[in-house]
Amino acid sequence: MHDIEPYFQWRDAYIASEDQRSPLYGRDYDEFYYTNAIYNYYIHPQWDEIGSPTLYIKIIYVDYELHYAIIEMIGEWNDCITNDIMTLRREITDLMQNEGINKFMLVCENVLNYHAADDNAYYEEWHDEVSDNEGWVAIINPLKHVSDEMYGYGLNHYVHLLTDSPWRGRKPRALLKWAEQQIFSQNLLRVG
């Protein structure tokens, strides 16, 4: 896992540690010294710690004008034991919402496991808050067993689960447009 780096192709356009409005503003990174680990496996030093022992993130793009953020994630998402959704909300997304972000794309292809809690209150709260401002939350490219678990616990009522996105190589606005098209299609299916 130590050689899985966060996506870096958009660094010429956005770096969270240099964005004064970012919850990760001012963070320093060591390119060679590995300190964070998921269980017994060290991860690349560019991943950001958020207070969860098994889930790390990287805010790879934010557009305040269009009100969206793209966050890449790695590790094990555990709502059952460590309430990772609460940590993500309070430490990252709540602060971003205070800066006007209401569309969140969570790239989850490196989330290896998801453990649901019996209560989806944090997801429902997040959905209600962003929906009030014409926003949404999308989980992009979860592994099949991860998306199956999310569907099994009803997360699809609060977030959009989007698969098969060729997001790498796209520009951020192209990814936003793709996500909006997928969400529009899902909403049509829900209504119809």
Q: Which of 101, 18, 95, 3 lies closest to 50 in space, CA to CA?
A: 95
Task: Give the model's pLDDT for residue 64.
Answer: 98
Helices (H), 6-143: 84-88, 94-98, 121-131
Q: Is pLDDT at 153 greater than 90 in this prediction? A: yes
pLDDT range class, residue 189, cuts 50, 70, 90: low
Task: Give the model's pLDDT for residue 33.
Answer: 83
Average pLDDT over residues 56-64: 98
Per the model's pLDDT, the better-predicted residue between 180 and 3 turns out to be 180
Q: Is pLDDT at 38 greater than 80 in this prediction? A: yes
Domain 16-191 is found in CATH 3.90.420.10: no
On average, the pLDDT of the chain sits at: 94
Choice among 6-15, 26-35, 178-187 with the minimum mean pLDDT: 26-35
User: Model's pTM, two decimal places?
Assistant: 0.95
Q: What percent of the chain has pLDDT over 70?
A: 97
127 C-beta neighbours (distance < 10 Å), count? 19
pLDDT in tens, 73-108: 999 999 999 999 999 999 999 999 999 999 999 999
Report whether 88 contacts 137 (CB < 8 A).
no
Tokens 């998921």 correspond to what residue? 38
Q: Is pLDDT at 190 greater than 80 in this prediction? A: no
Task: Give the model's pLDDT for residue 191.
Answer: 57
What b/e readout covers 4-22, taking b as 16+ CB neighbours within 10 angstroms? eebbeeeeeebbbeebeeb
**C-alpha–C-alpha distance, residues 23 and 17, integer Å:** 8
